[in-house]
Copies of this chain bind each other. A is one copy, B any other.
Amino acid sequence: MEYTVQKLGEMAGISTRTLRYYDEIDILKPARISSSGYRIYGQNEVDRLQQILFYRELGIKLETIKEIVTSPSFDGAKALKEHRSQLLDKRQQLDLLIANVEKTISSTEGRMTMSNNEKFEGFKQKMINDNEKKYGKEIREKYGEDTVKKSNTKVKNMTQAQHEEVTRLTEEVTTTLAEAFKTGDPASDIAQKAADLHKQWLMFYWSEYSKEAHAGLTQMYVDDERFTAYYDKEQPGTAEFLRDAVHIYTGMKQ
């Protein structure tokens, strides 16, 4: 099957101008030129265009795409990784911008009248930043670079519905834990429910769950006074209680 610019453009959902441009910059040449000067594309060109559009979707520059599709020995994975790192930098800048804009808005309004959605948008990044600032290093050391990165990615990708869910969960963990604490028994039904809720809450931030990590984390709540302070805010001893409950829940109690 052979295609003219228009046909190919329609198929791929791009303009004819784009195809001419790709010809111009030597990224996609037609298979041949008809006697009347028309660009004629074949199956090879279709395949190549798909490749190009795929990389373009990823936001990669056409110059780089050119290298990828022209030299078969090109290290595509390496290019992708570099590209990702650039994207991450870009996002950090964006996040800063957004934070500044929001700060400005709320200050000019003299009062916070942000919608929930807006709060959330700011919140997400704030959460990451705060986490990073406060616990980034320790968590990194304990669980490794990758886990932290994955966790951050996960938070950023949360939808509003998910955010509402996680907010609700946070509260439920707190109240259930407080309730359970009164029983004094980390093996009690309600304490186990709290442990389960805590796991659910955790899974919003971790891409993978493991009993060991869960148990380890709650142990850290006890060891690290910053976490302890958070959990012991209402009732001193809550952090330990949670640890015990989770250790039972995960079967880590020896």
Cross-interface CB contact of A159 among B91, B94, B102, B161, cutoff 8 Å: B161
> What sequence of 0s and 1s flags, for each residue 106-137 of chain A, a beta carbon within 8 Å of any chain B beta carbon?
00110000010110010010000000000000
Tell me whether A77 is interfacial, beta carbon within 8 Å. Answer: yes
Listed stretches A45-53, A82-90, A215-223; interface member: A82-90
Contact A58 B101 (CB under 8 A): yes
- Interface of chain A residues 145 through 174 with chain B (CB within 8 A): 153, 156-162
> What sequence of 0s and 1s flags, for each residue 162-205 of chain A, a beta carbon within 8 Å of any chain B beta carbon?
10000000000000000000000000000000000000000000
How many residues of A are counted as interface, with CB atoms below 8 angstroms from the partner's CB atoms?
Answer: 39
Once bound together, how far apart are the Cα atoms of A105 and B60, in whole Å? 14
Contact A156 B153 (CB under 8 A): no
- Among A59, A99, A115, max chain B CB count under 10 A is at A59
Tell me whether A57 is interfacial, beta carbon within 8 Å. Answer: yes
> A85's closest neighbor in chain B, by CB?
B118
Inside 8 A of A97's CB, which chain B residues have their CB? 57-59, 87
Contact A81 B99 (CB under 8 A): no
Contact A58 B104 (CB under 8 A): yes
Question: What 7 pairs across the A-B complex have the smallest Cβ distances?
Answer: A84-B101, A121-B157, A159-B161, A87-B98, A59-B97, A91-B94, A80-B105
